[in-house]
Structure 1
């Protein structure tokens, strides 16, 4: 019985991945020619081609027409781009799970940012809050919220954590808009909690910053649990 094409492609992916994880191929290295690599790995050229296509989609390989195929930089933000693809297919009934993950990750990122953010970046974070007028629209408030959390994630100094949080922000945006439209006082509460987070970061109090970040994300999560 012939092996299914998908299984052969998976085998090819595993073998290329093995060359990278073993250090035989490193970031920026060019893969051997297709015919040579297929023979060396004991693969059909078609299976190898499909594997290369799949690995290029998740940014592990970079196929340059007329030049060859290269291993990418393998930087976390590049590889975690694929997360946004997965996130885009979420269903409304999984948004609570995304919020749960945000509640786990964001307080830790906020605590790290409290210890690591340069003073000038903290000033930029405060400037984000100061951009909002007295009566911002829900859309402006949510956009401000996204930028606020993006800057804190970046301030953690951890590229993997930052990419994960960025990838998770999409599915929860609609929940934040919905809350802003329906829950009385939500906009003002958000602004107050954001300011409390900035104040804790400014004072270099990571435990306090972590607590406010937990309260902030948990508020959206708890509201959504009741709303659903």
Structure 2
């Protein structure tokens, strides 16, 4: 194992064991290196790597701290990678959304409060009967964000939010080119919201699957046509 990787593993073990909890300050570099049997250089490289993925927070003149380890914070690294996706991988993002979002929607049907459901209906009510594509996509993103938050699972919510960006252009493309896309989106969002409000997780899951899979299948067909 490379020395830097070994250093990362040793620091990670301290965090996982609870010896270093969220917000804890790491010992002085010289003391920690001696304790872990590492060179100060390899420890420094490990700290740099862990700070890049938001596990550690290096504060100049103050010290190095474990971050809050909040899932949303830790998954920022995944979002950074996702932002560099190629257009030919966008279908793969939709495939992952098709797996995750129905599960989150089913959970939301059981965990969303009445106030949160009212907020979800409010998002639907904000949309004009004949919105432009940009307004529709913005509304679509907010609708899905609220459902994800409503699942009550912060890790799942962060994953879904991280996958939203790479699919935005495809959603706009669909809205511009597919006949009936706007009406279909509004209809399916309403059905999802109704199922959540009725506390019917299986129905909510089914509608979410239909909704995401519909965009995915349209894109698959469109890309196939473009490649001919």
Match of 2:40 among 28, 40, 45: 45
1:215 match: 210
Gaps of 5+ in 2: 224-228
1:136 match: 131
Distance 2:155 2:102 in 1: 15
Secondary structure at the residue paired with 1:70?
A: strand
Secondary structure at the residue paired with 1:62?
A: strand
Match of 1:81 among 76, 80, 90: 76
Per-residue deviation at 1:147? 0.2
Per-residue deviation at 1:28? 1.4
2:98 match: 103
Q: TM-score normalised to the size of structure 2?
A: 0.95
Distance 1:195 1:167 in 2: 24
| Count of residues in correspondence between the two structures | 223
Distance 1:86 1:151 in 2: 24
Match of 1:69 among 53, 64, 88: 64
Q: Report which stretch shifted further, 93-102 or 43-52.
A: 43-52
Note if 1:91 corresponds to 2:57: no
1:11-65 Cα shifts (integer Å, max 9, x gaps): 2111111111122211111101001111111222121111111111111011111
Per-residue deviation at 1:134? 2.1
Note if 1:119 corresponds to 2:114: yes
- Superposition RMSD on alpha carbons, in Å? 1.1
Secondary structure at the residue paired with 2:199?
A: coil
1:148 match: 143
Q: TM-score normalised to the size of structure 1?
A: 0.95
Note if 1:164 corresponds to 2:159: yes
2:226 match: none
Per-residue deviation at 1:8? 2.2
Distance 2:88 2:40 in 1: 42
Per-residue deviation at 1:138? 0.5
4+ residue stretches of structure 1 with deviation over 2 A? none
1:25 match: 20
1:72-97 Cα shifts (integer Å, max 9, x gaps): 11111111111111101111111111
